Chains A and B, each alone.
Chain A
Amino acid sequence: MVPVDVVYHDLARQLFDERFYRQTYASRIGTSDPFEHFMAGGWRAGLNPNAYFDTGRYLEANPDVAAAGANPLLHFLINGATEGRSSVRRPRQTARSRILAARSPSERAKDYESAHDRRTPLVRDAVMRVFSDAARRFPAGLVVAASHDRYRQSLGGVQLVIVEEEQAFNAQGFTYLHLAPAAPGPLLADLETSPAAFSITLNGADVGVIELDILLDAIRDANQSWSRRRLIVHHFMSHAPERLARIAEAIGPERPIVWTHDFFTLCPSFALLRNDVAFCGGPPPDSAVCGICAYGADRRLHMSRLRAFFEEHSPDVLSPSQAALDVWLARGAMPHTSARVLPLARLGFDEPRPRLSELDGPLRIAFVGAPVAHKGWDSFEWLSHRHYDDPSYTFYHFGAWSEPVRGVRYVSASVQANGRSAMVDALAGAGIDVVVQWTLCHETFSYATIEALAAGCFVLARRDSGNVRRHLEAAGTDHGMLLAGDVELQALFASHEISERARRPRARGTIRYSVGTAEVLLSAMAA
């Protein structure tokens, strides 16, 4: 008969996640065995044995355990679980810590200093040469596009659209001049303190930094070379709308085009996440709710500066989905000349074919993308913990970086401009049956959803998730299911109803990526 304490010691070892402990507390454990470190005193120091058992919270919630000096993990195993004592760091608890840690964008601006482009700006002659060279190679017209970062250096939906449209414009002989802010930050650029300069990419090549005044002169001089000219604002972040207005005037006379890839034109919280946790829908800036939001103080000035731009230029607005445009029109009331939807991609389904996992084995369930709370990671992590011992499910995470969780297999996968099918291929190749698309945001487009659908996965999503819902409604009930929230999601897995639904044969699909603004502009400019 094995002694009781050995039994519990072994159980504790089973719940202990060595990889998590090593990664999380590397600097503290040195060469010690992680489990022994935890049991000998790591727990006293408030270290957690895995990603879901919160040592500190357990002791806080159970002061008798703390007073007795008992190891909380052992106590939980011996008494706590049956006594119903709370141990797990539930999503709402992490909401509390996210809220209390939320900072205003003004406070976060300091964090961006290392991203500033400190290269010496090009001298006037060099700029003029670059422009005349471009006019020779791409004489059909000039498209100036502004977004929040140097798109060739980062991942993301907006960046991918820019690459596509740049290629489409170049193919038709148009010069594509991209303006990234020389000093990135989370807000509109402060006119007093930010440099009036841009990191320039011209026809796909990095040119360096050009100052605003020289840029304006170069554009005006080049007006003879390019009879057709247009300004596209993909994103205002880190730009000063007043400076973009001067560029619009120099480019003139056509109205600028403004995209609503997210809700930055409604609030500095571009996903409209109040205090970084909940979709707020963009209430009036002087509302009490804005008053208590970390973004509220910055919002007022932000809106008045953007409103001035919209009032002066009355742009043509493009939106990646009807879901995004509906919110923008309902909440923004920004003056504009036209507003239309231009989807960033279209999904077409092929013929159904049998899938690997239809035959046998556990249902393969995946989370796709960044493992962060506002993309629904907490709920997925909860599911994987709840069903850790369930042989009918295996859990995966496909993304560019991992958040170690026991029971979730991580697969490195990300979409680059030249490998757009990387995620679809990874999901299909691994035979993923179900994707839990649990974003808390009101998505304006959601490539992740159509990638999951294209890979033939059955997609679970919340009803209130913006364009994710439209993708699922368009795909039909064979390809996905809309749920109200966590309770329904958990019930679907607890009852195993998901297995039956997800095993039916499903078609894969093909995604056709749009060429962004080029889709509307090329024909218009040809006229």
Chain B
Amino acid sequence: MTIHCFTSATFTYLDRARVLARSIRHFHPDWMIWLCLSDIEPDGFEFDPTAEPFDRIVRITELGIANASAWMFRHDIVELCTAVKGSMLSYLLEHGEPVVYLDPDIALFAPLDDVVRLLESNSVVLTPHVLSPEPTLHGVLDNELGSLRHGTYNLGFLAVRPCPEGLRFAAWWKERLLQFCFDDVPNGLFTDQRWCDLAPALFDGVAILRDRGYNVASWNLSDRPIRFTADGALTAGGSLLRFFHFTKVNSVGERMLETYSGGRSEVFELLRWYRAALKADCAVGLPPGWWAYGRYASGTPIRREERLAWRARPDLWDSVGDPFLTGQAGLRAALGLPPAPA
């Protein structure tokens, strides 16, 4: 059994994706590691796929999405990187082997043995955001309500087996993400994640992995404190730490870790390691904030209101042509928006 493991990123997260890939390789040298890349390199930035720690790289434009430009324009960077996951999952399942997805800002610290085991007899494996009731009001508001808003399961991790039920799940998820992968919490949508709240009801064999060592992050850290054993093992809530989800490491993330670290400092030793690893794998020469699909072809940044207005006009998706090429002035006019402020 060769497991295919993929992540989804743009160039600004290339450093994270590289660190993830190396950590996967370290513990699962036999897995095939894929990067789904929703970006185009800027001029002057050297990107050599053969020198990268991924076995294969698939660009968004290779996924066979119909009317791709019109579709991409409807999504911001997070929405797009999550929306492609459904298509990439289906594509990889065609190899006839199980597929694991991991967010680029994750790193492995031990092999994912329980995932491999669960895949032997289940169709889908999910990890919940939180595993036990929050003891403090602050925790309820942040983490339990957070789960109700953003999804019970954290889709920084997903595993699917190519059995009939797994394929049915993958086909369903792909379709939903092609149509409804948006950050619209008041309307019950949060990218790819809230959709999976339905999975245990719609499909058989959906395993919920509740071992505390999997998908540890600031939102569940208070329940899974990081400790180091005398023999040199890393543990989370008493279980072996399998993978940690380092969201927003340079800013808000550190504060969230501080809030939920219970006054202990071990989690910052993980953070220190991660930052050093990112530095060693940084994308040299990449302009800060680069994303090819964040701008019109002219270079003008795309505004969120333009995306939202475009999203609301399916009648225009086939007639306007490539919205990236149309340009801001032309598109705003077509959408009935006033000219952009200077």
By a beta-carbon cutoff of 8 Å, the part of chain A in contact with chain B is 60, 90, 92, 95-96, 99-100, 102, 104, 274-275, 277-278, 280-281, 283-284, 287-294
B241-276 contact mask (Cβ, 8 Å, vs A): 1 or 0: 100000000000001001000011100111111011
Query: Contacts A60-B255, A92-B264, A288-B110 hold; do A99 and B232 have CB atoms under 8 A apart?
Result: no
* Residues from chain A with Cβ under 8 Å of B231 in the complex: 283-284, 287
Q: Is B219 located at the chain interface by the 8 A CB criterion?
A: no
Q: Closest residue of chain B to A281, judged by CB?
A: B230
| Alpha-carbon distance between A287 and B255 when the two chains are bound, in angstroms | 28
Q: Is B91 located at the chain interface by the 8 A CB criterion?
A: no
Query: Contacts A100-B275, A294-B276 hold; do A287 and B268 have CB atoms under 8 A apart?
Result: no
* Residues from chain B with Cβ under 8 Å of A95 in the complex: 265, 268
B264 near A99: Cβ-Cβ < 8 Å: no
Query: Contacts A100-B275, A294-B272 hold; do A288 and B264 have CB atoms under 8 A apart?
Result: no
Q: Closest residue of chain A to B23, judged by CB?
A: A291
A293 near B269: Cβ-Cβ < 8 Å: yes
* Residues from chain B with Cβ under 8 Å of A292 in the complex: 109, 234, 269-270, 272-273
B255 near A99: Cβ-Cβ < 8 Å: no
Which of B109, B230, B268 is A283 in contact with, Cβ under 8 Å?
B230
| Alpha-carbon distance between A278 and B228 when the two chains are bound, in angstroms | 11
A287 near B272: Cβ-Cβ < 8 Å: no
Q: Is B233 located at the chain interface by the 8 A CB criterion?
A: yes
Whole-angstrom distance between the Cβ of A225 and the nearest chain B Cβ: 50
| Alpha-carbon distance between A294 and B274 when the two chains are bound, in angstroms | 11
B265 near A99: Cβ-Cβ < 8 Å: yes
A288 near B269: Cβ-Cβ < 8 Å: no
Query: Contacts A60-B255, A100-B275, A294-B276 hold; do A289 and B268 have CB atoms under 8 A apart?
Result: no
Whole-angstrom distance between the Cβ of B34 and the nearest chain A Cβ: 25
A100 near B110: Cβ-Cβ < 8 Å: no
Q: Closest residue of chain B to A96, judged by CB?
A: B268
23 A-B contacts (beta carbon < 8 Å): A90-B263, A92-B265, A95-B265, A96-B268, A99-B272, A100-B268, A100-B271, A104-B276, A277-B265, A278-B228, A278-B265, A281-B230, A283-B229, A283-B230, A287-B232, A287-B233, A288-B232, A288-B241, A289-B228, A289-B233, A292-B273, A293-B269, A293-B273
Known contacts A100-B275, A289-B228; 18 further A-B pairs (Cβ under 8 A): A60-B255, A99-B272, A100-B272, A274-B228, A275-B272, A278-B228, A283-B230, A287-B233, A288-B109, A288-B110, A288-B232, A289-B229, A289-B233, A289-B234, A292-B109, A292-B269, A292-B270, A293-B273
Query: Contacts A102-B272, A294-B276 hold; do A283 and B265 have CB atoms under 8 A apart?
Result: no
A92 near B263: Cβ-Cβ < 8 Å: yes
* Residues from chain A with Cβ under 8 Å of B271 in the complex: 99-100
Q: Please name the 9 residue pairs, one residue from A and one from B, whose CB atoms are nearest each other, closest first.
A: A287-B232, A283-B232, A292-B273, A289-B232, A95-B265, A99-B268, A288-B234, A96-B268, A289-B228
Most buried by B among A284, A289, A292, A293: A292
| Alpha-carbon distance between A292 and B226 when the two chains are bound, in angstroms | 13
Whole-angstrom distance between the Cβ of A48 and the nearest chain B Cβ: 18
* Residues from chain A with Cβ under 8 Å of B264 in the complex: 92
A291 near B228: Cβ-Cβ < 8 Å: no
* Residues from chain A with Cβ under 8 Å of B234 in the complex: 288-289, 292
* Residues from chain A with Cβ under 8 Å of B228 in the complex: 274, 278, 280, 289
* Residues from chain B with Cβ under 8 Å of A104 in the complex: 276
By a beta-carbon cutoff of 8 Å, the part of chain B in contact with chain A is 109-110, 228-234, 241, 255, 258, 263-265, 268-273, 275-276
Q: Closest residue of chain B to A277, judged by CB?
A: B265
Whole-angstrom distance between the Cβ of B59 and the nearest chain A Cβ: 33
| Alpha-carbon distance between A78 and B143 when the two chains are bound, in angstroms | 32
| Alpha-carbon distance between A288 and B270 when the two chains are bound, in angstroms | 11
Most buried by A among B228, B264, B269: B269
Q: Closest residue of chain B to A287, judged by CB?
A: B232
* Residues from chain B with Cβ under 8 Å of A287 in the complex: 231-233
| Alpha-carbon distance between A289 and B272 when the two chains are bound, in angstroms | 13
| Alpha-carbon distance between A99 and B234 when the two chains are bound, in angstroms | 16
Q: Closest residue of chain A to B275, judged by CB?
A: A100
| Alpha-carbon distance between A292 and B232 when the two chains are bound, in angstroms | 10
Whole-angstrom distance between the Cβ of B107 and the nearest chain A Cβ: 10
A96 near B258: Cβ-Cβ < 8 Å: yes
| Alpha-carbon distance between A90 and B273 when the two chains are bound, in angstroms | 23
Whole-angstrom distance between the Cβ of B273 and the nearest chain A Cβ: 4
* Residues from chain A with Cβ under 8 Å of B109 in the complex: 288, 291-292
* Residues from chain B with Cβ under 8 Å of A96 in the complex: 258, 265, 268
* Residues from chain A with Cβ under 8 Å of B273 in the complex: 291-293
| Alpha-carbon distance between A292 and B269 when the two chains are bound, in angstroms | 7
Most buried by B among A104, A284, A293: A293
| Alpha-carbon distance between A294 and B270 when the two chains are bound, in angstroms | 10
Whole-angstrom distance between the Cβ of B218 and the nearest chain A Cβ: 14
| Alpha-carbon distance between A278 and B264 when the two chains are bound, in angstroms | 11
Whole-angstrom distance between the Cβ of B268 and the nearest chain A Cβ: 5
* Residues from chain B with Cβ under 8 Å of A90 in the complex: 263
Most buried by B among A99, A104, A274: A99
Whole-angstrom distance between the Cβ of A23 and the nearest chain B Cβ: 27
Q: Closest residue of chain A to B280, judged by CB?
A: A297
Most buried by A among B228, B229, B264: B228
| Alpha-carbon distance between A102 and B271 when the two chains are bound, in angstroms | 11
Whole-angstrom distance between the Cβ of A306 and the nearest chain B Cβ: 19
| Alpha-carbon distance between A92 and B233 when the two chains are bound, in angstroms | 22
* Residues from chain B with Cβ under 8 Å of A100 in the complex: 268, 271-272, 275
* Residues from chain A with Cβ under 8 Å of B230 in the complex: 281, 283
Most buried by A among B233, B255, B271, B272: B272
* Residues from chain B with Cβ under 8 Å of A92 in the complex: 263-265
| Alpha-carbon distance between A232 and B232 when the two chains are bound, in angstroms | 32
Query: Contacts A92-B263, A100-B275, A294-B276 hold; do A275 and B269 have CB atoms under 8 A apart?
Result: yes
* Residues from chain B with Cβ under 8 Å of A291 in the complex: 109, 273
| Alpha-carbon distance between A289 and B240 when the two chains are bound, in angstroms | 12
A288 near B263: Cβ-Cβ < 8 Å: no
| Alpha-carbon distance between A20 and B63 when the two chains are bound, in angstroms | 62
Q: Closest residue of chain A to B235, judged by CB?
A: A288
Q: Closest residue of chain B to A283, judged by CB?
A: B232
| Alpha-carbon distance between A280 and B227 when the two chains are bound, in angstroms | 12
Q: Closest residue of chain B to A95, judged by CB?
A: B265
Q: Closest residue of chain A to B255, judged by CB?
A: A60
| Alpha-carbon distance between A275 and B275 when the two chains are bound, in angstroms | 14
* Residues from chain B with Cβ under 8 Å of A278 in the complex: 228, 265
Whole-angstrom distance between the Cβ of B77 and the nearest chain A Cβ: 27
* Residues from chain B with Cβ under 8 Å of A283 in the complex: 229-232
| Alpha-carbon distance between A378 and B231 when the two chains are bound, in angstroms | 28
* Residues from chain B with Cβ under 8 Å of A102 in the complex: 272
Query: Contacts A92-B263, A92-B264, A99-B265 hold; do A284 and B232 have CB atoms under 8 A apart?
Result: yes
| Alpha-carbon distance between A100 and B269 when the two chains are bound, in angstroms | 7
Query: Contacts A283-B231, A288-B232 hold; do A274 and B255 have CB atoms under 8 A apart?
Result: no
B272 near A288: Cβ-Cβ < 8 Å: no
Whole-angstrom distance between the Cβ of B251 and the nearest chain A Cβ: 12
Q: Closest residue of chain B to A288, judged by CB?
A: B234
| Alpha-carbon distance between A26 and B173 when the two chains are bound, in angstroms | 62
| Alpha-carbon distance between A98 and B92 when the two chains are bound, in angstroms | 44
Whole-angstrom distance between the Cβ of A103 and the nearest chain B Cβ: 9
| Alpha-carbon distance between A96 and B228 when the two chains are bound, in angstroms | 16
| Alpha-carbon distance between A278 and B226 when the two chains are bound, in angstroms | 14
Q: Closest residue of chain A to B266, judged by CB?
A: A278
| Alpha-carbon distance between A289 and B104 when the two chains are bound, in angstroms | 22
